[in-house]
Every structure is written in C-alpha cells, then in structure tokens.
Amino acid sequence: MLSGGDKSEDPNKTEEQKQSDTEMKTEEQKTKPTETPKDTSEKPAETKAEKPDEKTKEAKKTEKPVESEKPIEKTTQAKEEKTQTKRSDSMTLLEGRDVDTITRKDITDDFKQAVVDAGAETVGICFQCGTCTGACPSGRRTPYRVRQLVRKSLMGLKDELLADDNIWMCATCYECQERCPREIKIVDIVKIVRNYASQAGYMADNHKATGSFVIKTGHGVPINDATKALRKSVGLTELPPTTHEFPEALKEVQTIMKTTGFDTLIGYNWETGELE
C-alpha cells in the first residue's frame, strides 16, 4: 500500500476526511510534491481498527531508511527519460515536470542551533500541528505560513527562508504564540529569522529609513513643523523633553548604534546623513 503509492480513495472514508485530505494535498503539493502519496496512504490508517494500524506502522518502519536517503536527495532532474511511458499520452500534466526535492545542499546544518543560540530555545519542540498558521491574520491574506517558517528553521533551509519576502508579513500580533499547544515563543523565532535575513542584506528601504531617523533624531517618527505648532497651541513645549530637546542624549543613542554596528548594518553614512 505504501510502496505502490496507490492514490485510490478509501470507500470507508467520510466526506469530511476526504475533504481534509484534499486540503492537505493542495497545501503540501506546493512545497513538497513528492510526499503526497505518503500522506494519502497514511491518513486512513488513523481511523481504521487496530490491526491495520499496526500494519501501517510496520510498513512505515521498513520504509523509513529509504525515506531518509531518497526523497531528501534533491535534484531538479527532468524526469523525461524515465517517463517515456504509457502514461505520456494520457490526461496527466505531471509527465516531464521538474521534480523539486530538498537535498543536503539546501540545508545549512547549524542554522537550527543558530536560532536556538539567538534565544529561541523552544523552536526544537514544535510538532508541526499548524495551529499557528490557523490563527494567523497575515496567513489569511498573504502566502506567509508561520508553521513553514518554524519547519524551515528546524530543517536548516536557511537560504530559502531568509530570501523569502513573506517572512516580513508577520505583524507580530502573537495570535499564533497565544494558541501554540507547545508554548513555543514563535514571535521570537520570527524576529531571530528576520535578524539573520537582515544580516544577509534582506532589508526593506522603508525599514532602513526608520532606522536612519533614529540615528539622526533619536525618534523613529521625528517631530515636524505642524506638530510643533500643535503642541504649542495646547500649551505643551514645542519640542518634547526627549532626544529632540537634549542633544547629549542623542549622542548616547548614536554611540549605542555605532557600538552594536546598527549604522553599518543599514548602510548609514555619517557624513551625508543618508543611506548608501
């Protein structure tokens, strides 16, 4: 059953199960198309009586070594030669497609540890239930998937993850973290991954601009003339008693940013006051 990758539906399945399988398939297909047969064949076992369940477990065991060697081997090989078969003139669109499988060369071995060392010790206990993605308001309107971000961190898919624009779609609303059954500090993981992305140079111009405002004025949103007048009109000091009013305090903030290397990170030019 497992080896054959038989996709025929179990007639005993309820409509709901079928539906959830289909949903699962469509999501997984996007990222790991080769795992689909495994998923469909495993699923019904959960609802069946004990005996078949045990069988499945055994089958799974025997399959395991193969699994760890083979599907992880990734080549974007065209299946062209293999697939000059009887199915080529059938209705399938899948023949001759590039197979996009994850291989060792996509994995940065120490990335998980780097995430842990940066303060997200809990990343390792994620069991991929997907509650986080279900709770995520950005997940409802963008391709951002929290569960994937955590999974890729664990797998060490560093390059792929850091280059992904979608990791910036998190609004840090904590809905995922509040619901996580493992109490994983998910937002910390998001921030740490973004820290590594920033180090790799993936920073939006608008974000860098906010950083440069803090270097220049001590404020991410500095005062303007309209607000100065408004402050005065209600009897407040024109400038708030912050770095705006105390230049020596601004110097402290600037020294801190030089010490941590934030100025270099965002490419701030102290002479021109501009971003490079």
Partner 1 sequence: MGYAYFLGCIMNNRYPGIEKATRIMFEKLGVELKDMEGASCCPAPGVFGSFDLTTQQSIAARNITIAEDMGMDVLTECNGCFGSLYETNHLLHEDEEQKEKINKVLAEVGREYKGEVNVRHFAEIIYNDIGLDKLQEAITNPLNLDVAVHYGCHFLKPSAAIGIDDPMKPTILDELVEVTGAKSIDYKDKMMCCGAGGGLRSRDLDVTLDYTKEKLDNMIEAGVDIIVNVCPFCHLQFDVGQKEVNKKYGTDYNIPVFHLAQIYGLAMGLSREDITIDAQQISAEPAMAKLDEMTGGE
Please answer whether residues 150 and 111 qualify as being in contact, where contact means their C-beta atoms are separated by less than 8 angstroms.
Answer: no
Answer for which of 90, 141, 272, 276 binds partner 1 (CB under 8 A) is 141
- Per CB under 8 A, 240 contacts partner 1: yes
- Per CB under 8 A, 256 contacts partner 1: yes
Smallest separation, CB 153 to partner 1 (Å): 15
Where does 71-220 have alpha helices with state H? 111-117, 131-135, 146-155, 158-162, 175-179, 186-199, 205-217
Interaction mask 152-191, partner 1, x per CB under 8 A = ----------------xxxxxxxx-xx----x-x-x---x
Answer for which of 252, 269, 273, 274 binds partner 1 (CB under 8 A) is 252
- Per CB under 8 A, 267 contacts partner 1: no
How many residues are recorded in the chain? Answer: 276
d(CA 192, CA 152): 13
d(CA 110, CA 239): 48
- Per CB under 8 A, 108 contacts partner 1: no
Let me know if 111 is exposed, middle or buried by CB neighbors in 10 A (0-12, 13-18, 19+).
buried
Q: Tell me which amino acid residue 178 is.
A: E
Per CB under 8 A, residues contacting partner 1 are 118-119, 137-138, 141-142, 168-175, 177-178, 183, 185, 187, 191-192, 194-195, 198, 203-204, 206-207, 209-211, 214, 218-224, 226-227, 230-231, 233-236, 240-246, 248-250, 252-253, 255-257, 259-262, 265-266
